[in-house]
């Protein structure tokens, strides 16, 4: 698939890459990683299925919230289709929690993206501040 080559301005272009490649960002403090964010080129709303395919048959991905009213930290309407999941993998001591969201337009940065953020604890404060609905909504 074609993805941005990382250059800017007049030098910007595209390169062919494996669709499985993602960008990774670790967020935390001096003693712990609190979340891991994965950014995959091209937007997709089918994030639960993507998680299931990537994690394999021994994983359970259960939706805990979605249909959020607001973008995080703003009063702006939610445009990124944020969805939150509880992810359990067989033989893992504890579950992890995933937030997925879509950026439809990448502008000059590329074709848009699907984002996966993994948390060690349930992001209840984030879910509440975005006014997300429960699993069945």
Q: Which residues of 89-112 are buried (b: 16+ CB within 10 A; e: fewer)?
A: eeeeeebbbbbbbbbeeeeeebbe
* Angle ∠(15,18,24) on CA atoms, nearest 5: 95
pLDDT of residue 64: 96
pLDDT in tens, the chain (137 residues): 666 676 777 887 777 766 666 778 888 898 988 899 998 878 888 999 999 998 888 999 999 999 999 999 999 999 999 999 999 998 888 999 999 999 887 666 667 889 999 999 999 999 999 999 987 54
CA–CA distance, 86 with 65 (Å, rounded to integer)? 10
Task: Name the residue ranges covered by the structural domains of the chain.
Answer: 22-134
pLDDT of residue 22: 75
pLDDT of residue 130: 96
Residue 42 CB: number of other CB atoms within 10 A? 14
CA–CA distance, 98 with 60 (Å, rounded to integer)? 12
| Residue 119 vs residues 59, 91, 109: alpha-carbon distances, Å | 16, 18, 26
CA–CA distance, 128 with 51 (Å, rounded to integer)? 23
Helix (H, G, I), strand (E, B) or coil at 31: coil
pLDDT of residue 119: 95
pLDDT of residue 111: 73
pTM comes to 0.81
Helix (H) or strand (E) holding 86: strand 83-89
């Amino acid at each position: 698939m074609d993805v941005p080559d990382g250059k800017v301005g007049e030098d910007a272009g595209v390169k062919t890459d494996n669709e499985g490649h993602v960008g990774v960002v670790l967020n935390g403090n001096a003693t712990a990683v609190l979340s891991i964010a994965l950014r995959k080129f091209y937007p997709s709303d089918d994030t639960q299925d993507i998680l299931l395919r990537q994690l394999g048959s021994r994983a359970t991905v259960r939706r805990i919230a979605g249909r959020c009213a607001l973008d995080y930290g703003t009063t702006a309407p939610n445009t990124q289709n944020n969805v939150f999941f509880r992810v359990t993998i067989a033989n893992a001591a504890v579950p992890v929690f995933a937030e997925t969201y879509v950026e439809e337009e990448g502008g000059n940065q590329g074709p848009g993206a699907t984002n996966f953020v993994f948390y060690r604890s349930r992001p209840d404060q984030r879910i509440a501040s975005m006014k997300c609905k429960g699993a069945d909504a």
